[in-house]
């Protein structure tokens, strides 16, 4: 059976195009544009292509003239981490107090395909922060949802709506939209973490705001008072399937997890307990980090997870309409994305943009653990999530149609 060929429109004649552009030159003073051509889509029907190379292309025409597409990229920790030390040195020796400098002790990751924009994918922003001993970021709240993935052995603390979250490596601390929070380091050594935000989504929707005037705070107070007992999140939500009948509202935001502190040791223990069970051929041993009350993603826009790959384990190829950021918390390995291989080790960060085939391989002698941050929840909510994989016979199969 012959596959039907797409209908092609006749090109616009040169004379007609020139006439319309002339009209546009005149109409421009009124801030209007007379559409003179259809705009080519930025993406072919990706789910019909079978090759491993990316099939996306930039749109043509005026409507999408500024469109950019994220590309796969890996940030090597050994290359980027020295800049944290340099930032910390500047902060320690600056003519401003550490408190005033604290919010600037970070660098943001920029995707090479996005023209310098402060984002790693179309929907996600990531920064890597360092806090010296005694540093404090004053209490504030904002519209983007944000998280901290702790990289250092000790990770300082974050206060969220009166809950003090003492952090260690592998911990995930949430600062949902509309929650008052502040960060600090009262240890004797610098602490580092990855900040992940849905900032680009809110920025596109013109919904970015920041409030630093905390109601009821004493004059010149930079940190909120602790009003909840230590380990509050674990005490209320630390037992799967057991949900207390209490108010689950944190701040003025909506549809976010009331549990704001997920322990790295609990995540590692859960993955280890699953080890040897039936694993996903496309993901290995995978654990979703969820809202313990609703079972939904931590944020409406962003999902979090962790996956374990045993030594020598190779996943099958998979592609989806969501973009995912990975950070290696343990071990070493490689990920093949759109025909190119990226080698990763502890603390390395890499991004797999939407539509691209990828597979993971553990190249080390110990279990590898990757944390994931994805815009899949947002893509699902707008009805655009699809996923495909390659089966054992290398045939393309629908995973989510």
Average pLDDT, integer, range 186-198: 94
**53-57, 117-121, 314-318: the lowest-pLDDT one:** 53-57
Cα distances from 289 to residues 146, 192, 268, 390, in angstroms, run 15, 21, 12, 26
Predicted confidence band of residue 14 (pLDDT cuts 50, 70, 90): low
pLDDT, averaged across the chain: 88
Would residue 57 be called left, alpha or beta, if left means φ above 0 and alpha means ψ between -120 and 50 degrees?
A: beta
Give tens-digit pLDDT for 229-272: 999 999 999 988 899 999 999 999 999 999 999 999 999 999 99
The predicted pLDDT at position 273 comes to: 96
Residue 369: helix, strand or coil by DSSP? Answer: strand
186 or 93: which leads in pLDDT: 186
Q: How far is the C-alpha of 118 from the C-alpha of 113, rounded, in Å?
A: 11
Position 1 pLDDT exceeds 50: no
pLDDT bin (cut points 50, 70, 90) of residue 5 is: very low
Q: Is the pLDDT of residue 275 over 90?
A: yes
Q: What value does the mean pLDDT take over residues 161-178?
A: 96
Phi then psi dihedrals of residue 240, to 5 deg: -55, 135
Residue 146's CB: how many other CB atoms inside 10 A? 22
pLDDT of residue 60: 63
Q: What is the pLDDT of residue 95?
A: 56
Quote the pLDDT of residue 47.
80
Instruction: Please give the structure tokens belonging to residue 399.
Output: 């995973």
Buried-state track 107-122, b at ≥16 Cβ within 10 A, e below 16: bbbbbebbeebbbbbb
Q: pLDDT per residue over 111-130, tens digit each?
A: 999 989 999 999 999 999 99
What pLDDT was estimated at residue 17? 67
Torsion angles phi and psi, residue 141, rounded to 5: -140, 160
d(CA 252, CA 217): 17
**Is it the case that residue 357 has pLDDT exceeding 90?**
yes
Say how far apart CA 123 and CA 301 lie, in whole Å: 9
In three-state secondary structure terms, 87 is: helix
Please state the rounded mean pLDDT for residues 61-84.
85
24 pLDDT tier (thresholds 50, 70, 90): confident
pLDDT computed for residue 59 by the predictor: 62
* pTM strictly above 0.75: yes
Beta carbons of 326 and 74 less than 8 angstroms apart = no
The pair of structure tokens assigned to 178 is 């509309």
**CA of 29: how far to CAs of 23, 202, 223, 252, 397, in Å?**
11, 30, 51, 43, 52
Q: Quick check: 124 and 198 in contact, CB under 8 A?
A: yes
- Residues 144-172 have a mean pLDDT of 96
Sheet holding 318-320, edge to edge: 340-344, 333-337, 358-362, 318-320, 387-390, 396-400
Between the CA of residue 155 and those of 26, 99, 111, 278, 372, what are the distances in Å?
A: 59, 17, 26, 34, 19
Q: 126, 120 in Cβ contact below 8 A? A: yes
Q: What is the mean pLDDT of residues 143-152?
A: 97
- CA 85 to centroid of chain Cα atoms: 24
Task: Answer positive or negative: Cα dihedral of 5, 56, 359, 262.
Answer: negative
Residue-level length of the chain: 401
In the predicted model, what is the mean pLDDT of residues 37-44? 63
Q: How confident is the model at residue 326 (pLDDT cuts 50, 70, 90)?
A: very high
pLDDT band at 98 (very low <50, low <70, confident <90, very high): very low
Q: What is the pLDDT, as a whole number, of residue 25?
A: 82
Query: Which residues, other chains included, contact 301 with Cβ-Cβ below 8 Å and sequence gap of 6+?
Result: 123, 145, 198, 201, 375, 377, 378
Residues 336, 53, 76, 131, Cα dihedral to 10°: -110
- Rounded to a whole number of angstroms, the CA Rg of the chain reads 24
How large is the average pLDDT for residues 272-294? Answer: 94
* Banded model confidence at residue 12, pLDDT cuts 50, 70, 90: low
CA distances from 332 to 116, 129, 370 (A): 29, 23, 10
Indicate the range of 138-142, 339-343, 349-353 predicted with least confidence: 138-142
Domain ranges of the chain: 73-216+223-400
Task: Give the model's confidence band at 220: pLDDT under 50 very low, under 70 low, under 90 confident, else very high.
Answer: low
Fold of 73-216+223-400: Jelly Rolls (2.60.120)
């Amino acid at each position: 059976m012959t596959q039907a060929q797409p209908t092609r429109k006749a090109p616009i004649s040169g004379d007609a195009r020139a006439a319309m552009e002339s009209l546009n030159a005149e109409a421009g003073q009124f801030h209007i544009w007379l559409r003179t051509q259809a705009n080519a889509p930025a993406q072919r029907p990706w789910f019909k292509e079978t090759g491993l190379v990316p099939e996306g292309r930039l749109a043509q025409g005026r409507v999408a003239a500024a469109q950019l597409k994220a590309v796969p990229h890996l940030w090597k920790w050994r290359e980027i981490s020295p800049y944290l030390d340099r930032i910390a040195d500047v902060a320690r020796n600056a003519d401003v107090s550490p408190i005033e400098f604290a919010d600037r002790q970070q660098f943001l990751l920029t995707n090479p395909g996005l023209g310098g924009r402060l984002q790693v994918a179309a929907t996600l922003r990531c920064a890597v922060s360092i806090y010296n001993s005694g540093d404090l970021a004053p209490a504030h709240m904002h519209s983007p949802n944000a998280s901290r993935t702790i990289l250092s052995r000790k990770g300082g603390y974050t206060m969220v709506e009166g809950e003090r979250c003492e952090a260690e490596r592998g911990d995930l601390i949430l600062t949902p939209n509309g929650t008052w929070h502040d960060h600090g380091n009262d240890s004797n050594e610098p602490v580092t973490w990855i900040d992940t935000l849905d900032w680009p989504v809110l920025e596109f929707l013109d919904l970015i705001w920041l409030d630093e005037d905390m109601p009821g705070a004493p004059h010149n107070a930079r940190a909120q008072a602790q009003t909840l007992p230590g380990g509050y999140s674990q005490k209320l939500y630390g037992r799967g399937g057991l949900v207390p009948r209490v108010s689950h509202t944190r701040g003025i935001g909506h549809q976010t997890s009331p549990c704001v502190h997920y322990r790295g040791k609990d995540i590692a223990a859960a993955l280890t307990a699953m080890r040897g069970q039936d694993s996903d051929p496309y993901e290995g041993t995978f654990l979703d980090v969820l809202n313990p009350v609703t079972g939904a993603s931590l944020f409406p826009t962003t999902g979090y997870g962790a996956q374990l790959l045993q030594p020598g384990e190779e996943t099958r190829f998979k592609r989806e309409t969501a973009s995912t950021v990975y950070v290696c918390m343990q071990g070493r390995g490689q990920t093949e994305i759109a025909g190119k291989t990226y080698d990763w080790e502890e603390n390395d960060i890499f991004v797999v943009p939407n539509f691209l085939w990828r597979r993971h391989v553990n190249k080390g002698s110990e279990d590898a653990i990757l944390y994931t941050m994805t815009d899949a929840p947002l893509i699902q909510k707008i009805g655009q999530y699809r996923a495909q994989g390659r089966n054992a016979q290398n045939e393309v199969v629908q995973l989510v149609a």
